[in-house]
C-alpha cells in the first residue's frame, strides 16, 4: 500500500485516485496519525499531500522527523514539500510572494528521477504563499519558477522527493508522469493493482463474513448498490435477497431496468415493493427541500423494514437475516471520517441508509473503491453497460427535482421531459462526456408563451448538464447548441404544460448539482 497523508482541503483524495490510476493501491491516513502507526502498515511509499496551512502558522500540522529516517520513500507535494524542507533543515520563507494557478516551471535537472523524459519547460498548478529558498543538505534542486528558487528537489540516496506544486491536478501537464516516476523509479513499486484482484479478494471476504446467514440489500437502480449486490450475490448466491422500493420518484424505464436487466445479469433474488401511494401521500403539501429529503428517507426505511420482516416471515426457519449490504464508496468513508466541521449542505439520502436501532451487520464490499473503479468491478462482474455506466441519480429521485410540491401529475410531466433529454443526449453520444444532467421542473413558476395560435401560461424545465470527476466540484457542460435546440423543441412540443426550457450555467460551487 501507498499511504497518502492528508493535510486537509481535499487534495489527498485526488492524490489517492491518481496513485490508483498508476495501478498502485493507495489509502488515505490523517496527518495526526503517529508515524509508528503509519509504518506499521508497511507502506511501500508515503505521499504527503498539500493543505491549506502555512508551515509557519501556529496550528500548522507537523510530522515527526522519524518518518524521513525510516527508509520508506517519501514524496512531498506543496504543503508536504515545505514540511519536508523545514523538517530536514532547508529554508522556507514567508516572503509574501504568492503563486496561484497555472505557472511555468523550469526543470534544471531533466534526467532526475522525477523529471526524466518530461520537457524542460512545463506548466504546473501552484497554490502557496511560502517559498522554499534552500533545499536541505544532501538534496539536489531539480526545478524552479520565476518566484520560487526551489520548486522541486530530490535525495535519491534517501528516497526523498518533493515538489512545490500540485502534480495531482490535470493543469500540471506532466503531473501524472512525475507521480509515476516517484512510484516506479523512486520507490521501485511494480504497478499491478487492478480491480480484478478486488473482485476475488472481496468474494472470499464476504463468504467469510456472512457464513451461512442471510443478507439483504436495498437496490436503488444506481451503480453502487447494483455492483455491491452483484458482488455479494456472486459470493453467497441465494443467501442474498435484494429489495427494490419503487417509490414512484424514479425516471421512465428505471424500475423495469432494475427488475429485468439487473436480474437477468445477476440472477439475484429480487423483492419489489410498490410504495408509490405511500410516498405520494407522505409528500403531499410539502415543498421545503430538506423536509422532502427527510420524508423520503424515513418512508424508505419503513418500507424496507417491512420488506425485511416479510423475508423472515416467508422462511422463518432459515438462517437469520443478519447482514445488510451497502454500496458505500471510499470517498464516503474518507468524508465521514475526516468530517471536522464540514457543513451539512444537504441531507444526502443513500437508499439503503438505515437508522442506528436496526441490528444489522454491514457488508460494504466497495468501501476501498472510487466511483470509476466501482464501474470497472461492475463490468468485470458482467453487468451490462446500461447499469455500469449509468449517470449518478440521487436516492430521493425526482422528488428533489420538482421545485415545489411533488404530485403525481408533476412527476409524470417531469418523467416525460427527462426521458426526452436523456434520449437526445444518448443519441448525440454525450452520455460519458456529461457526468449527469438533472432535468428540473420549476413547478411553482409560470411564464407566458405562445404555442399554436394561443397564449400559454406554463412551467419552465431546467437542464443542468454538468462535467465532474467526483461530484464534489463540477462545471456546467458546454454542450453543442444543436443538441440543446433539439431537446428544447421536443420538450416544449411533446410535454404538456411546459412552454420554456432553460439552461443552468452555474458551476459547483456556488450551485450544487441538484436544485434541492
Ligand atoms: P449535489 O446536489 O450535492 O450532488 O451537488 C452531488 C451528487 O450527489 C447526488 N445526490 C445524491 N445522491 N442521495 C444520493 O444517493 C442523495 O440524497 C443525493 N443528493 C444529491 C447528485 O445527483 C450528485 O451526483
pLDDT digits (tens, 9 = 90+) for 453-463: 899 999 999 99
Both 366 and 443 in one domain: the answer is: no
pLDDT in tens, 25-63: 999 999 999 999 999 999 999 999 998 878 878 788 889
Query: Is a pLDDT exceeding 70 seen at residue 180?
Result: yes
Find out whether the beta carbon of 225 lies less than 6 Å from any atom of ligand 1: no
Both 323 and 427 in one domain: the answer is: no
Residue 239 to residue 90: CA distance in whole angstroms: 60
Q: Per-residue pLDDT averaged across 176-192, rounded? A: 97
pLDDT at 149: 93
Both 161 and 284 in one domain: the answer is: no
- Does residue 317 lie within any of the structural domains? yes
Pairing, β 152-155 against β 140-144? antiparallel
Of 159, 186, 213, the residue at which a domain comes to its end is 186
Find out whether the beta carbon of 398 lies less than 6 Å from any atom of ligand 1: no
| Nearest in space to 43 (alpha carbons), one of 17, 62, 24 | 24
Both 149 and 69 in one domain: the answer is: yes
pLDDT at 9: 66
Both 71 and 156 in one domain: the answer is: yes
pLDDT at 343: 41
pLDDT at 168: 93
Q: Confirm whether 132 is a catalytic residue.
A: no
Query: Residue 277 is part of a domain; what is its CATH number?
Result: 3.40.50.620
- Residue with CA nearest ligand 1 atom 6: 471
For ligand 1, the distance from its centroid to the CA atom of residue 353, given in whole angstroms, is 14
At residue 477 the predicted structure's pLDDT band, cuts being 50, 70 and 90, is: very high
Name the least confident of 126-140, 236-250, 343-357, 426-440.
343-357
Number of domains within the chain: 3
Q: Confirm whether 469 is a catalytic residue.
A: no
At residue 348 the predicted structure's pLDDT band, cuts being 50, 70 and 90, is: low
Mean pLDDT of the chain: 91
Find out whether the beta carbon of 514 lies less than 6 Å from any atom of ligand 1: yes
Find out whether the beta carbon of 396 lies less than 6 Å from any atom of ligand 1: yes
- Residue with CA nearest ligand 1 atom 4: 513
For ligand 1, the distance from its centroid to the CA atom of residue 515, given in whole angstroms, is 10
Cβ neighbours around 273 below 10 Å, total = 16
Both 181 and 199 in one domain: the answer is: no
Query: Is a pLDDT exceeding 60 seen at residue 444?
Result: yes
pLDDT in tens, 421-439: 999 999 999 998 999 999 9
pLDDT at 397: 94
Query: Is a pLDDT exceeding 50 seen at residue 353?
Result: no
Reduced to 3 states (helix: H, G, I; strand: E, B; else coil), residue 397 is helix
Is residue 221 marked as binding?
yes
Enclosing domain of residue 338: 195-388
Query: Is a pLDDT exceeding 50 seen at residue 100?
Result: yes
Q: Confirm whether 78 is a catalytic residue.
A: yes
For ligand 1, the distance from its centroid to the CA atom of residue 312, given in whole angstroms, is 32
Find out whether the beta carbon of 220 lies less than 6 Å from any atom of ligand 1: no
For ligand 1, the distance from its centroid to the CA atom of residue 428, given in whole angstroms, is 25
Q: pTM, whole model, 2 decimals?
A: 0.80
Catalytic residue among 166, 247, 349, 459: 166
Q: Per-residue pLDDT averaged across 488-496, rounded? A: 97
Contacts of 149 by beta carbon, 8 Å cutoff, 6+ apart: 131, 132, 133, 141
Amino acid at each position: 500500500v501507498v499511504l497518502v497523508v492528508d493535510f486537509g482541503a481535499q487534495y489527498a483524495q485526488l492524490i489517492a485516485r491518481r496513485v490508483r490510476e498508476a495501478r498502485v493501491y493507495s489509502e488515505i491516513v490523517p496527518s495526526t496519525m503517529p508515524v509508528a502507526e503509519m509504518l506499521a502498515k508497511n507502506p511501500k511509499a508515503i505521499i504527503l499531500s498539500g493543505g491549506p496551512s502555512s508551515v509557519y502558522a501556529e496550528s500548522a500540522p507537523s510530522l515527526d522527523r522519524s518518518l524521513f529516517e525510516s527508509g520508506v520513500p517519501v514524496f512531498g507535494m506543496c504543503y508536504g514539500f515545505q514540511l519536508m524542507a523545514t523538517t530536514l533543515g532547508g529554508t522556507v520563507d514567508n516572503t509574501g510572494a504568492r503563486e496561484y494557478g497555472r505557472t511555468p516551471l523550469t526543470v534544471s535537472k531533466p534526467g532526475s528521477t522525477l523529471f526524466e523524459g518530461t520537457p524542460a519547460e512545463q506548466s504546473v498548478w501552484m497554490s502557496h504563499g511560502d517559498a522554499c529558498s534552500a533545499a536541505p543538505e544532501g538534496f539536489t534542486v531539480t526545478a524552479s519558477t520565476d518566484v520560487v528558487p526551489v520548486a522541486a528537489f530530490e535525495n535519491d540516496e534517501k528516497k526523498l522527493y518533493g515538489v512545490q506544486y500540485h502534480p495531482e491536478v490535470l493543469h500540471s501537464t506532466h503531473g501524472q508522469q512525475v507521480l509515476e516516476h516517484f512510484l516506479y523509479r523512486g520507490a521501485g513499486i511494480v504497478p499491478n493493482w487492478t480491480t480484478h484482484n478486488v473482485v476475488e479478494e472481496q468474494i472470499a471476504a464476504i463468504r467469510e463474513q456472512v457464513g451461512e446467514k442471510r443478507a439483504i440489500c436495498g437496490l436503488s437502480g444506481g451503480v453502487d448498490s447494483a455492483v455491491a449486490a452483484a458482488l455479494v450475490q456472486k459470493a453467497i448466491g441465494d443467501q442474498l435477497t435484494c429489495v427494490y422500493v419503487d417509490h414512484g420518484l424514479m425516471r421512465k424505464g428505471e424500475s423495469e431496468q432494475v427488475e429485468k436487466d439487473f436480474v437477468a445479469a445477476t440472477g439475484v433474488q429480487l423483492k419489489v415493493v410498490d410504495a408509490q401511494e405511500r410516498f405520494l401521500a407522505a409528500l403531499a403539501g410539502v415543498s421545503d427541500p430538506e423536509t422532502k429529503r427527510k420524508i423520503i428517507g424515513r418512508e424508505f426505511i419503513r418500507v424496507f423494514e417491512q420488506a425485511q420482516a416479510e423475508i423472515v416471515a416467508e422462511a422463518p426457519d432459515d438462517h437469520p437475516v443478519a447482514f445488510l449490504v451497502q454500496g458505500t464508496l471510499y470517498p464516503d468513508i474518507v468524508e465521514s471520517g475526516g468530517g471536522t466541521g464540514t457543513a451539512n449542505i444537504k441531507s444526502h439520502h443513500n437508499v439503503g441508509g438505515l437508522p442506528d436501532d436496526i441490528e444489522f451487520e454491514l457488508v460494504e464490499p466497495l468501501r476501498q473503491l472510487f466511483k470509476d473503479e466501482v464501474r470497472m468491478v461492475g463490468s468485470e462482474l458482467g453487468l451490462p453497460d446500461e447499469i455500469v455506466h449509468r449517470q449518478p441519480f440521487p436516492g430521493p429521485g425526482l422528488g428533489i427535482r420538482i421545485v415545489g410540491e411533488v404530485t403525481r401529475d408533476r412527476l409524470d410531466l417531469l418523467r416525460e421531459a427527462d426521458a426526452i433529454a436523456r434520449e437526445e443526449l444518448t443519441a448525440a453520444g454525450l452520455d460519458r462526456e456529461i457526468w449527469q444532467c438533472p432535468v428540473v421542473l420549476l413547478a411553482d413558476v409560470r411564464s407566458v408563451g405562445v404555442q399554436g395560435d394561443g397564449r400559454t401560461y406554463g412551467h419552465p424545465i431546467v437542464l443542468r448538464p454538468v462535467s465532474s470527476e467526483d461530484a464534489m466540484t463540477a462545471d456546467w457542460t458546454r454542450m453543442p447548441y444543436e443538441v440543446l435546440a433539439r431537446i428544447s423543441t421536443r420538450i416544449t412540443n411533446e410535454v404538456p404544460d411546459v412552454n420554456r426550457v432553460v439552461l443552468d450555467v452555474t458551476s459547483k460551487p456556488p450551485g450544487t448539482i441538484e436544485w434541492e
